[in-house]
């Protein structure tokens, strides 16, 4: 296929969905033009890597001033900040001109941040696939009630009603919408109860996968009594989970396993996390940004995802399972994965149950090995990017067929 793919941020290994869609599609021989923005030289280098996959990259700089101006202009309107943040007029012109000039089979646009570009594409072609990824209004609803970050709660209060209305309109308009999990699909459908049946036929689940060649153990042994939680720590859901871990779960663990150490691994940890690490001395290590997450997952006895709230698939869970590190997580964190509780992964709810499950696994080497092997087998057999892209290609084919019949 000849694919026009728009990402409202530079795809990288950390922005894993767009990156691996592009990489896998290119490996299968599809012709791809990526339209995107970049904000710094690191992102430009990532785009150069994508060009090495044989993908044509059409990119424009998105400055902080432009993103701030976009957001300020959106404030007095009914348009969500997310839907305006990544708008870049030069990229919009290049996108529109290419859709008018070239014979693309399908236009794929990612995320709510790409919604304005999706609407522009829909004005020119019916063969549009909008990748909502998650239902952002559902995430805002949870953030308002549960986030440990006051600023996140404030923004969510501001954004929730207009994001809900905007996502509902997009779900009605877009010829095809994809999301990462059944729960996100259900949330989008619930925004349009009167048109739910019609929208359901055009809303599809395409889960994330995991690169099992990149995420694979290299032989290092697990260190004893080492617990890891990973993710971008400036993201409010991760910060809330990290504070839940340190303030409520770990004091219960340390009563029974005083030797346990916690690794909080991820970029931009706020001062409150660093302060807890300093107060706890060596019992808590907050790393900040790391070049490679894999050594930390290899070290850990167990990875945990104590998500107080979350959206979509938790890539941190997939990465740990691929690295053969046992995982303890909340039910919502593992629901999209299809893992067997007690066999592939351990489920816990609440501080006391998390603490009990952590202490039990620290003292059970045989069970650690069983969970590690089963988790690795699950991601290898059921959660590959190739399987996800096969589903994506089926939706592309439907979009192309419907557009030609229109």
Burial 159-187 (b: 16+ CB within 10 A, else e): bbebbbebbbebbeebbbbbbbbebbbbb
Residue ranges per structural domain of the chain: 2-209+385-405, 226-382
Q: Who contacts 70 (Cβ-Cβ below 8 Å, separation ≥6)?
A: 84, 85, 86, 87
Write down the pTM of the prediction: 0.92
Q: Which pLDDT score, from 0 to 100, does residue 114 have?
A: 97
Of 136, 335, 300, the closest CA to residue 230 belongs to: 300
Flag residues of the chain having pLDDT under 50: none
* 226-382 CATH fold: Rossmann fold (3.40.50)
Q: Which pLDDT score, from 0 to 100, does residue 310 have?
A: 86
Q: Which pLDDT score, from 0 to 100, does residue 188 have?
A: 95
Of 238, 357, 362, 373, the closest CA to residue 307 belongs to: 238
Tokens at 347, concatenated: 């489920």
The architecture (CATH level 2) of 2-209+385-405 comes to 3-Layer(aba) Sandwich (3.40)
pLDDT digits (tens, 9 = 90+) for 242-254: 999 999 999 999 9
Q: Who contacts 137 (Cβ-Cβ below 8 Å, separation ≥6)?
A: 160, 163, 164, 167, 187, 191
């Amino acid at each position: 296929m000849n694919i026009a793919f728009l990402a409202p941020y530079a795809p990288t290994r950390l922005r894993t969905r767009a990156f691996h869609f592009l990489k896998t599609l290119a490996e299968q021989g599809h012709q791809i033009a990526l339209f995107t923005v970049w904000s710094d030289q690191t992102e430009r280098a990532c785009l150069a890597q994508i060009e090495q996959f044989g993908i044509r990259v059409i990119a424009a700089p998105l400055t902080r001033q432009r993103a701030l101006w976009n957001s300020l202009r959106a404030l007095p309107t009914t348009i969500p900040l997310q839907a305006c943040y990544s708008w870049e007029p030069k990229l919009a012109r290049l996108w529109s001109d290419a859709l008018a000039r070239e014979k693309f089979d399908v236009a794929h646009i990612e995320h709510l941040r790409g919604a304005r570009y999706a609407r522009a594409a829909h004005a020119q072609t019916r063969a549009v696939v909008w990748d909502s990824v998650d239902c952002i209004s559902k995430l805002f609803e949870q953030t308002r009630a549960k986030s440990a970050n006051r600023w996140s709660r404030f923004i969510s209060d501001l954004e929730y009603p207009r994001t809900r209305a905007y996502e509902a309109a997009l779900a009605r308009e877009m010829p095809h919408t994809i999301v990462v999990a059944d729960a996100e699909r259900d949330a989008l459908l619930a925004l349009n109860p009167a048109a739910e049946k019609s929208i359901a036929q055009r809303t599809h689940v395409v889960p994330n996968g995991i690169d099992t060649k990149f995420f694979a153990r290299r032989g290092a042994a697990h260190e004893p009594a080492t617990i890891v939680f990973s993710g971008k720590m400036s993201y409010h859901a991760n910060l809330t989970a990290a504070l839940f871990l340190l303030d409520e779960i770990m004091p219960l663990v340390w009563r029974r396993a005083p030797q346990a150490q916690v690794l909080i691994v991820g970029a931009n940890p706020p001062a409150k996390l660093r302060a807890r690490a300093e107060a706890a001395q060596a019992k808590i290590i907050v790393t900040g940004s790391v070049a490679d997450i894999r050594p930390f997952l290899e070290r850990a006895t167990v990875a945990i995802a104590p998500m107080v709230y979350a959206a979509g698939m938790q890539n941190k869970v997939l990465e740990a399972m691929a690295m053969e590190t046992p995982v303890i997580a909340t039910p919502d964190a593992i629901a999209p994965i299809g893992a067997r509780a007690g066999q592939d992964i351990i489920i816990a709810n609440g501080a006391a149950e998390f603490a009990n499950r952590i202490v039990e696994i620290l003292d059970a080497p045989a069970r650690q090995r069983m969970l590690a092997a089963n988790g690795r087998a699950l991601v290898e057999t059921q959660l590959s990017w190739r399987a996800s892209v096969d589903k994506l290609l089926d939706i592309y084919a439907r979009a192309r067929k419907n557009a030609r019949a229109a």
